[in-house]
Amino acid sequence: MSNPIDIKELHWLLAVTQNIDVGIVVMDRDLQVQVWNTFMENRSGVIPFDAIGKSFFELFPEVNPAWFRKKVDNVVTLGMPAFTIWEQRPYLVRFKNYQPITGQEAFMYQNTSLFPLRGTTGEITHTCLVIYDVTDVAANRHQLISANQQLQQLTGAKP
C-alpha cells in the first residue's frame, strides 16, 4: 500500500495541474474562479491573477448562465460528474483554434467534464471544469463526412 502524498510534495500536484494539456478551472459554489491553469491562460489570454475571484460568466459571457448553472447544480446535488461532447455542443467556451494540422477549423472543438470537489468535511464545496481540445477528432470526422458525400455524388448513390 502506498503512503499518502506528503504536504511537502504538493508542488508536484500543482506542477501537473499547470502543465497538463487540458483546461482546468475550479469554481466555488457561486461559480467564482479559484484555480485557472496554464492551458486556460494560453487559450483565453487571461492570466490567473485576473481570472481568480471572477465569475465564470464574466470571463465567458457566451456561456448560457441558466444552462451552465443547472449543469453545476446537478453535479453538486447528485455528487456525480457531468459531461459535454463536441458532437452535441461543439464548445463550451469559444477559443480560437491554433492547431497547425486542423487550422481550417475556426474554433477549438471541446469535450468537457464537470465534477464535484469535496472539502475535508465531505461536503461539496467546489466544482472542477476540465476542457479537452478535440479539434483534431472533429476535423477528421468532418473530412470523412465530406469525402463520403463526394464519393456518393461521384457514384450516384443516395445517402
Q: How far apart are CA 65 and CA 29, in angstroms?
A: 14
| Distance linking the first and last C-alpha atoms of the chain | 57
State pLDDT tens for residues 109-121: 999 999 999 988 9
User: What is the CATH topology of the domain spanning 7-155?
Assistant: Beta-Lactamase (3.30.450)
Give tens-digit pLDDT for 77-96: 999 999 999 999 999 999 98
Query: What's the whole-model pTM score?
Result: 0.83
Integer angstrom CA distances of residue 115 from 58, 83, 92: 21, 9, 15
Query: Residue 76's closest CA among 41, 114, 38?
Result: 114
